[in-house]
Structure 1
């Protein structure tokens, strides 16, 4: 039985709905202490809706947990379940309709146990949705900062009291202003605490502000200074080039070519070396990832159109990537031929031996040097890169291992190589 609880659209939408529900309740709960919202019908109805959502979420979590426990794979890798007792207990404590059971609003704080769900869901999104990790972390920081300021503002109003000559909204905004200026340590002294309770609260507020600002600054700086692997590798390569220039007398032309290559690698190839990641993967995943990298290139090659998927998978394992910079020679006329090449990206010029005549230009999806796969020979043409070119190389030894299983494809390549050989001779 195959299930996909981690990646379904329903699962994602439901998690977001639960997070929004918790945020609404976390916003209204301190307001209930100030204005006794629990005695208003709309608040009772909203509390009932929240209870229903929490109850449905509890049922969904139980159902997901039972399905995953029966699955041979997911039970070992899916951590966001009731396999941890604290998740189960926190959900149970958050379900009870405290507004109906108890008149005192203090019991409503037990609803906040649902924040365990929010925190693990945010962690879940950061792990499973790597592309948007920075964005989701930033939103989480902003929402968390607002709730901290909101709760402290409500507590301050509870201690300090309302000013009778202004509205409740004005009182709240004034309290929010005081809390923010105190948390950020830029208080102007226009609002001062009176009495022991307010001064003790102010001390707590200032101590909290020190930690909060340090946490926010560190988190935001970490988010915006965190470079993607491509940019990080580009910067490291440029630093190594500067060090090389410092200790060795390198011609400026060669320096420029190296710098241009690093820039090309960063802009066009993403500048990320996947070899280290490849080595960390087991054999099956490594093959699948290599196939994903090379699948499109192989299928766009004319002689491989409509071939068996197994052939594509096997041939992909033996394709070696090569990058040619502008003016680089892939091979020259007379060189020993022991491999063929596939153009992934770029333009390749096929020239005569004296390089005075251009025979053809090879582009993405074209191939060359296939004659070497069928007979011992030397190169019959000179091949030179016009700009930056990404190509794959297939050695004769590896080709023979695969092609024995596919004689029809071998015949197709051989016929193509004969016609091309006659054309270029």
Structure 2
């Protein structure tokens, strides 16, 4: 297990500890207003412990600030997040054990400045954990709604007063129930505000609840809409097809084939076109990502088992993805051989020249046409896709560019190609 991985685990774990600590602090502050908890020894001990954790977090942030400042790469990416003084001011304001130092609970509100750290941590997890970003957003939204409802519950208890004859827990649950029903505009009317202050607070709560409800609904809809971009792309493609059919007459059979293709792209390829992503990346990252996608494809080919990683890296950038629908021809007998192909998914049939005989079936991991990379020949067979098939194409002109940089490997590959030529049609 590498040091970098352990450091990442530690950083994530520490951020989670800070979030839980801030949530605990934000939950007990309004309870202190109600029940004078700061007079209890356990509460003062807890307040000191939270100050210690926040102090350690401040030190961790300073160390992180220095690391980023002195790191040429990290500085370009993260400097705006760590150079702002407002983050350190927020850490310092939330640092002191206010319940121990001051007798009035209002000073403890300064602890809430630590929510800046929670917000930054939420953004960090969303950016660094793309696969889980939707779930992370949902969880942070639910936590924020819980804390917000908890504060309103305690404020209502302070205004309305505690009912005698029932426990403090029952008072809290009844108050929380009323807050939630009012915020969500349900309001059964079983709890009625009495007096001007309670009525004004209820009016504020109802007006504010409209905004809160709209925010929650909008956030949830946004999360689940972003969660499935493949489906969104599928819908957009179907709308374009519908417009095409409206303005241009195309056969029903062709319409169905296009429809099936878009459905396949959505279900199997996840609406993903790697070429679009590649174009958005700088050269270095593009090469790294292409190598990650395609290195196993190249290494599994016997023709390339004598090459090194540098050759594989150069070849990977020239592999072009293709999708064949059922019945599509990859090439026909007599076509000039200008490329070779690697099957990633699906089934492809190799047929005789008159297509009367099936010679073989190519599946995932198979390849064809490498003779065309070394000799100017015509195809001696017809290749036709049986199912939806994903294929990589390597063109001769691109292959020749790489061979010029590796003359020794070029000789080895030519020799292997000649020795294998009789095995192919």
TM-score (norm. length: structure 2): 0.93
**Which deviates the most, 393-402 or 5-14?**
5-14
Shift of 1:367: 2.1
Alignment map for 1:5-24 (pairs within 5 Å): 8-24=8-24
Query: What is the root-mean-square deviation in Å for CA atoms of aligned residues?
Result: 2.2
| CA distance in 1 between partners of 2:219 and 2:99 (Å) | 37
2:179 aligned residue: 179
> Residue 265 of structure 1 aligns with which residue?
265
Question: Are residues 417 and 351 of structure 1, via their aligned partners in 2, closer, same or farther at CA, if it must alter by over 3 Å?
Answer: farther
Residue by residue, what CA displacement relative to the aligned partner does 1:379-416 show, whole Å, maximum 9, x if unpaired?
12211222122222222221112123334543454345
* Secondary structure of 1:165's aligned partner: coil
Is contact 2:87-2:116 (8 Å) kept?
A: yes
Change (3 A) 1:321 1:224: closer
SS in 1 for 2:94: helix
Quote the offset at 1:284 in angstroms. 1.2
Which residue number in structure 2 is paired with residue 382 of structure 1?
A: 382
- Distance change >3 Å, CA 121–CA 6, structure 1 → 2: farther
Distance 1:7 1:300, change over 3 A: farther
Distance in 1, matches of 2:7 and 2:182, equals 43
Change (3 A) 1:5 1:310: closer
Q: Match of 2:40?
A: 40
> Distance in 1 between the 2:202 and 2:282 partners?
57
The 5 Å alignment of 1:412-423 reads: 412-423=412-423
- State the match for 2:372 in structure 1: 372
CA distance in 2, matches of 1:12, 1:95: 21
- Looking at structure 2, the residues matched to 103 and 175 of structure 1 have their Cα atoms a distance apart, in angstroms, of 27
Asked whether the equivalents of residues 229 and 272 of structure 1 are also in contact (C-alpha less than 8 Å), the reply is no
1:325 aligns to what?
A: 325
Which residue does the alignment assign to 1:96? 96
Aligned match of 2:117: 117
Assess, with a 3 A threshold, how the Cα gap between structure 1 residues 63 and 375 changes in structure 2: closer, same or farther.
same
Residue 127 of structure 1 deviates from its aligned partner by 1.9
Kept after mapping to 2: 8 A contact 1:80/1:120: no
State the distance in 1 between where 2:156 and 2:388 align.
Answer: 65
Determine the C-alpha separation between the residues in 2 that align with 1:154 and 1:181.
Answer: 15
Once the 2 structures are TM-superposed, how far is the Cα of residue 203 of structure 1 from its aligned partner? Answer: 2.4
Gap change, CA 1:354 and 1:395, over 3 Å in 2: same
| More divergent stretch after superposition (354-363 vs 148-157) | 354-363
Which residue does 2:309 correspond to in 1? 309
Cα distance in 2, alignment partners of residues 230 and 196 from structure 1? 53
**Shift of residue 84 of structure 1?**
0.7
Moved more, 250-259 or 310-319: 250-259
2:216 is aligned with 1:216: yes
- C-alpha distance 209-192 of structure 1, shift in aligned 2 (>3 A): same
Match of 1:130 in 2: 130
Query: 1:140 offset after TM fit, Å?
Result: 1.5
Q: Deviations over 1:316-374 (max 9, x none)?
A: 12222222111211111111122222222222222221222222222222222222222
1:372 and 1:209 map into 2 onto residues whose CA distance is 70
Distance between the aligned counterparts of 1:412 and 1:267, measured in 2?
41
The SS at the match of 1:393 is: strand
Whether the 8 Å contact between 1:5 and 1:64 is mirrored in structure 2 is no
Q: SS at 1:377's partner residue?
A: coil
Secondary structure of 2:393's counterpart equals strand
The answer to whether the 8 A contact 1:339-1:369 is kept is yes
Supply the distance in 1 between the matched residues of 2:423 and 2:225 (Cα, whole angstroms).
56
**3-state SS of 2:72 partner:** coil
Alignment partner of 2:392: what SS? strand
1:64–1:81: 8 Å Cα contact kept in structure 2? no
Within-5 A mapping of 1:276-425: 276-305=276-305, 307-424=307-424
Structure 2 gap ranges (5+)? none
Residue 306 of structure 1 deviates from its aligned partner by 5.4
Number of residue pairs aligned between Structure 1 and Structure 2: 424
Report the TM-score, using the length of structure 1 for normalisation.
0.93
Large movers: runs of 4+ above 4 Å: 2-7
Residue 84 (1) aligns with residue 84 (2): yes
Alignment map for 1:171-210 (pairs within 5 Å): 171-210=171-210
Greater shift in the superposed pair: 300-309 or 93-102:
300-309
Per-residue deviation at 1:377? 1.7
Query: Is the 1:231–1:266 Cα contact (8 Å) retained in structure 2?
Result: yes
- What residue ranges of structure 1 are gaps of 5+ in the alignment? none
Q: How far off its partner does 1:4 sit?
A: 6.0
CA distance in 2, matches of 1:231, 1:7: 37
